[in-house]
C-alpha cells in the first residue's frame, strides 16, 4: 500500500487528471442511463439528441483518459530504463537475463498501464459512485450489488496464487531461451565451421517449445479466470434483474427506478469483468515488477575510509588476475605493476595481451577476479565507488558519440566550460559547430575522447590508444596538449605508437 501511495505522490498531477476523467465518465454513464429511462417513457427527438451528445462526450473523455495512461506509462518506462542503464554498468549479467529485463520485463509495464491500470482506476472511482447512486434509488438493489461484489476479487485472489508460480516459470523459460539464442547467434560462425549448427538449432527448438508450454499454462489459467469472472458477474446481474422484475410485478418498486438500476448494473460490474480479461497481464506485471525491484535493489555499498589520499596518487597493481564471465582462461594472471605518481606511463605489449582489460580494471569498469589495485596504500575495493570514480577519467579505444549536440557530447551532458572547450578544440585542430549533431570521423572521435578526459580535470587520466588513426601532425598536437595538462596528474596510456612511447616518462611492457 505504501508503494502505491509513493507512486501517486511521484506522479500526483497526472493521477489527479486520470481520476477526474474517470469521475466525469461515471457521471456521463449515469446521465445516459437517466436519459434512456426518459426516452423509454416518452420518446422524443430531444432525448435522442441528448443521448447522442452524452455518448459522444463519454467517448472523448475515454480517449483523453487513455492518453493520460499512455503518458504515465512512458514516464514510468523512461524512469525504469534510466535506472536499469545506470545499474547495468555496475554488475555482470548473463545475456539472457539482460535481454529479458531490458525488453520483456520493461515492456510488461506498458501493458499494465494500458490494460490493467485503467480498469483499476475505474474500479476505484466508478464502483463507489454507482453504489451510492443505486443506494439513493433503491436500498435493496444496492445491498445485492454490495454483497455480490467481493466474490469476483476473492476468486481472482485464489486463481492468482496458482498463476503467479506458473508465470515465474514462464519468465524463467523465456530468460533461458533469450540467453541460448543470444549465445548461438554470437557463435554461429564457429558452429558452422565445426558442423554443429543443426545440433544448436535442435537445442534452441527444444528450449523454445518449453517456453511456449510454460506460457500456455499461464494462458490457460487466464482464460479460466476470465470465464469464472464472466459467469459470476452475469449471475449477479441476473440476480438484480430477477429481483427487480419480481418487485416490479409486486408493485414495491417503480418502473423508472427499476429500469435505471437495470441499466447501471452491467456498468457496475464492467470494470471487474475487464480486470478478469487482463488478469494474466496483471500477474505478469507483478512478477516483472518483483524482478525489477530485485535487480535494482543494490546491496549496501562498502564504506570507504575517511583518510585523505594524496593526489596525484601512486597506483599499484598487486597480483591481479581477471577472467571474463563464462571464460575459463584468465585474460590477466598474477599481474604486478606500479604506476608512479604525477608521471606519464606508457603501457605497451602485443595486441591481445590484455592492455585494454587492465585499463578497465584501473578505471573501475571491471573488478579483479583476484588481487587488489591500490591508490597509494588504500585498496580501491574499500573505497566508495562514487569517490573512486570521481578521481578517474577514462578514454576507451572507440569513444562513443551520444545522441545529442556536440557540445553535450564534449561535456558528457554536464555543465560546460565553453572557453576551455574552445581552447582545447583549437589546440587539437578540431573546428566544429558545437550545436550541430554531425557525425565524426575516427580521428575526430579520438580527439573528442581526449577532450572529454581533459575537461573532467581529475588526478588520474587513463587513455587507451588515444592517437590511433591520427597522422603525425595531429598526434603531436595531442601530445603537446597532454604535456600542457599533465601537471599533478598520474597518466597511463596504452599505446603502440613510438611517438607516445618517447613522450612518456616511463614504459611498462605487459
CA gap 73, 416 in Å, rounded: 33
Residues 427 and 502 in one domain: yes
For residue 346, give every residue at least 6 positions away whose Cβ sits within 8 Å of its Cβ, in sequence order, or none.
493, 494, 495, 500, 501, 503, 504, 506, 507, 508
3-17, 179-193, 398-412: which is most confident? 398-412
State yes or no: pLDDT of 251 exceeds 50. Answer: yes
Range of weakest confidence among 169-173, 227-231, 237-241: 169-173
- Report residue 305's pLDDT band, with 50, 70 and 90 as the boundaries: very low
pLDDT attached to residue 5: 61
Q: What is the C-alpha to C-alpha distance for residues 430 and 411, in angstroms, rounded to an integer?
A: 15
pLDDT interval class at 462 (50, 70, 90): very high
DSSP-assigned states of every residue in 249-314: HHTSS-HHHHHHHHHHHHHHHHHHHHHHHTHHHHHHHHHHHHHHHHHH-PPPPPPPP-PPPPSSPP
For residue 474, the model assigns a pLDDT of 87
Same domain, 494 and 449: yes
The CATH number that applies at residue 375 is 3.40.50.300
pLDDT of 3 > 60? The answer is no
Residues 149, 283: one domain?
yes
Cβ–Cβ under 8 Å, residues 144 and 237: no
Residue 323 in any domain: the answer is yes
Distance, in Å, from the CA atom of 200 to the CA atom of 436, rounded to the nearest integer, reads 47
CATH value at residue 234: 1.20.1560.10
Instruction: Provide the pLDDT for residue 159.
Output: 66
CB 335 within 8 A of CB 414: no
Within a domain: 363: yes
- Nine-digit cell at 84? 536499469
Of 267, 295, 323, the residue that ends a domain is 295
Query: In Å, what is the CA distance from 62 to each residue of 22, 69, 98, 106, 111?
Result: 8, 11, 37, 25, 18
Residue 203 placed within a domain: no
Strand-pairing partners, residue 461, are 393, 491
Q: Please compute the mean of the pLDDT values over residues 493-505 and round it to a whole number.
A: 90
The confidence score (pLDDT) of residue 158 equals 72
Are 217 and 363 in the same domain?
no
Same domain, 152 and 247: yes
Nearest 5°: the CA angle 477, 478, 481 is: 85
- d(CA 445, CA 438) in angstroms, rounded, equals 12
Residues 281 and 394 both lie in one domain = no
Residue 48 domain-assigned?
A: yes
Mean pLDDT of 360-375: 89
Q: Is 153 among the domain residues?
A: yes
Residue that is last in its domain, among 265, 295, 325: 295
How many CB atoms lie under 10 A from the CB of residue 463? 26
pLDDT value of residue 132 = 92
What phi and psi values does residue 492 have, to the nearest 5 degrees? -120, 125
User: How far is it, in rounded angstroms, from Cα 31 to Cα 355?
Assistant: 74
Residue 4: pLDDT over 70: no
Q: Which residues pair with 332 in a beta bridge?
A: 322
> Is 336 a domain residue?
yes
Question: Are 172 and 320 part of one and the same domain?
Answer: no
Mean pLDDT score across all residues of the chain: 80
User: Do the domain assignments include residue 202?
Assistant: no
Which structural domain, as residue segments, surrounds residue 262?
2-177+209-295
Is residue 288 located within the same domain as residue 360? no
Integer Cα distance of 256 and 38 in angstroms:
8
Q: Is residue 428 domain-shared with residue 456, that is, in the same domain?
A: yes
Residue pair 264/33 in contact by the 8 Å Cβ criterion: yes
CB contact at 8 A, 265 and 240: yes
Q: Give the CA count within 13 Å in the CB-facing half-sphere of 224.
A: 13
Cβ–Cβ under 8 Å, residues 315 and 345: no
CA separation for the pair 49, 310 (Å, rounded): 82
C-beta separation of 85 from 296 below 8 A? no
Over residues 166-190, mean pLDDT: 68
The larger pLDDT score, comparing residue 386 to residue 294, is at: 386
Judgement on whether residues 38 and 72 belong to the same structural domain of the protein: yes
Per the model's pLDDT, the better-predicted residue between 306 and 224 turns out to be 224
Number of structural domains the chain divides into: 2
User: Which tens digits make up the pLDDT trace of 66-90?
Assistant: 888 888 888 887 877 777 766 665 5
- Residue 80 vs residue 62, higher pLDDT: 62
pLDDT value of residue 367: 87
C-alpha cell at 385: 565507488
Do 148 and 84 share a structural domain? yes
Q: Which sign does the torsion angle of CA 468, 474, 480, 481 carry?
A: negative
Nearest to 80 by CA among 52, 49, 101: 101
Is 305 part of a structural domain of the chain? no
Taking 70 as the threshold, does the pLDDT of residue 160 lie above it? no
Q: Which of 295, 329, 344 is the last residue before a domain boundary?
A: 295
Give which of 460, 457, 470, 454 is closest to 492, Cα–Cα: 460
Q: What is the mean pLDDT of the segment spanning 236-244?
A: 89
What is the separation, in whole angstroms, between the first and last Cα of the chain?
Answer: 57
Q: Spell 30-40 as b/e; 16+ CB within 10 A means b.
A: bbbbbbbbeee
Strands 460-464 and 490-494: parallel
Q: Which of 307, 288, 256 is nearest to 116 (CA)?
A: 288
For residue 178, what is its C-alpha cell? 533469450
The pTM for the full model equals 0.52
How much is the pLDDT for 493?
92
What is the reported pLDDT for 306?
40
pLDDT at residue 97, as a whole number? 55
Confidence label for 336 from pLDDT (cuts 50, 70 and 90): very high
**Are both 319 and 466 inside the same structural domain?**
yes
Query: What secondary structure does DSSP assign to 129-182, as a single string?
Result: HHHHHHHHH-HHHHHHHHHHTTHHHHHHHHHHHHHHHHHHHHHHHHHHHHHHHH
Amino acid at each position: 500500500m505504501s508503494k502505491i501511495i509513493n507512486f501517486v505522490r511521484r506522479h500526483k498531477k497526472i493521477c489527479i487528471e486520470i481520476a477526474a476523467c474517470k469521475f466525469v465518465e461515471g457521471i456521463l454513464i449515469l446521465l445516459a442511463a437517466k436519459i434512456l429511462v426518459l426516452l423509454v417513457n416518452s420518446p422524443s427527438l430531444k432525448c435522442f439528441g441528448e443521448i447522442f451528445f452524452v455518448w459522444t462526450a463519454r467517448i472523448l473523455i475515454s480517449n483523453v483518459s487513455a492518453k493520460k495512461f499512455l503518458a504515465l506509462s512512458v514516464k514510468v518506462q523512461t524512469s525504469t530504463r534510466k535506472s536499469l542503464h545506470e545499474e547495468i554498468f555496475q554488475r555482470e549479467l548473463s545475456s539472457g537475463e539482460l535481454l529479458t529485463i531490458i525488453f520483456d520485463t520493461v515492456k510488461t509495464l506498458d501493458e499494465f498501464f494500458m490494460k490493467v491500470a485503467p480498469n483499476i482506476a475505474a474500479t476505484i472511482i466508478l464502483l463507489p459512485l454507482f453504489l451510492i447512486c443505486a443506494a439513493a434509488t433503491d436500498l435493496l438493489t444496492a445491498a445485492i450489488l454490495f454483497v455480490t461484489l467481493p466474490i469476483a476479487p476473492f476468486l481472482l485472489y485464489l486463481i492468482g496464487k496458482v498463476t503467479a508460480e506458473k508465470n515465474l516459470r514462464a519468465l524463467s523459460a523465456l530468460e533461458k531461451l533469450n540467453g541460448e539464442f543470444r549465445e548461438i547467434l554470437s557463435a554461429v560462425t564457429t558452429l558452422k565451421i565445426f558442423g554443429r549448427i543443426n545440433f544448436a538449432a535442435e537445442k534452441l527448438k527444444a528450449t523454445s517449445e518449453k517456453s511456449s508450454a510454460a506460457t500456455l499454462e499461464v494462458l490457460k489459467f487466464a482464460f479460466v479466470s476470465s470465464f469464472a469472472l464472466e459467469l459470476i458477474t452475469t449471475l449477479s446481474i441476473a440476480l438484480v434483474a430477477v429481483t427487480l422484475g419480481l418487485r416490479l410485478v409486486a408493485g414495491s418498486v417503480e418502473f423508472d427506478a427499476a429500469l435505471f438500476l437495470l441499466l447501471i448494473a452491467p456498468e457496475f460490474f464492467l470494470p471487474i469483468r475487464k480486470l478478469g480479461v487482463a488478469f494474466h497481464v496483471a500477474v505478469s506485471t507483478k512478477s516483472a515488477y518483483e524482478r525489477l525491484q530485485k535487480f535494482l535493489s543494490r546491496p549496501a555499498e562498502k564504506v570507504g575510509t575517511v583518510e585523505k589520499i594524496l593526489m596525484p596518487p601512486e597506483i599499484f597493481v598487486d597480483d591481479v588476475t581477471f577472467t571474463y564471465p563464462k571464460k575459463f582462461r584468465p585474460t590477466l594472471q598474477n599481474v604486478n605493476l606500479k604506476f608512479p605518481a604525477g608521471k606519464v606511463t606508457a603501457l605497451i605489449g602485443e595486441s591481445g595481451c590484455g592492455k585494454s582489460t587492465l585499463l578497465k580494471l584501473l578505471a573501475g569498469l571491471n573488478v579483479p577476479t583476484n588481487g587488489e589495485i591500490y591508490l597509494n596504500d588504500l585498496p580501491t575495493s574499500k573505497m566508495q565507488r562514487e569517490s573512486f570514480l570521481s578521481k578517474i577519467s577514462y578514454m576507451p579505444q572507440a569513444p562513443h558519440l551520444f545522441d545529442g549536440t556536440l557540445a553535450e557530447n564534449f561535456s558528457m551532458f554536464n555543465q560546460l566550460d565553453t572557453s576551455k572547450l574552445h581552447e582545447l578544440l583549437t589546440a587539437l585542430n578540431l573546428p566544429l559547430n558545437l550545436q550541430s549533431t554531425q557525425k565524426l570521423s575516427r580521428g575526430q572521435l579520438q580527439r573528442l575522447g581526449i577532450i572529454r578526459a581533459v575537461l573532467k580535470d581529475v588526478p588520474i587520466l587513463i587513455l587507451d590508444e588515444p592517437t590511433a588513426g591520427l597522422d603525425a601532425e595531429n598526434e603531436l598536437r595531442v601530445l603537446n596538449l597532454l604535456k600542457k595538462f599533465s601537471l599533478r596528474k598520474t597518466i597511463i596510456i596504452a599505446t603502440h605508437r613510438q611517438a607516445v612511447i618517447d613522450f612518456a616518462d616511463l614504459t611498462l611492457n605487459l
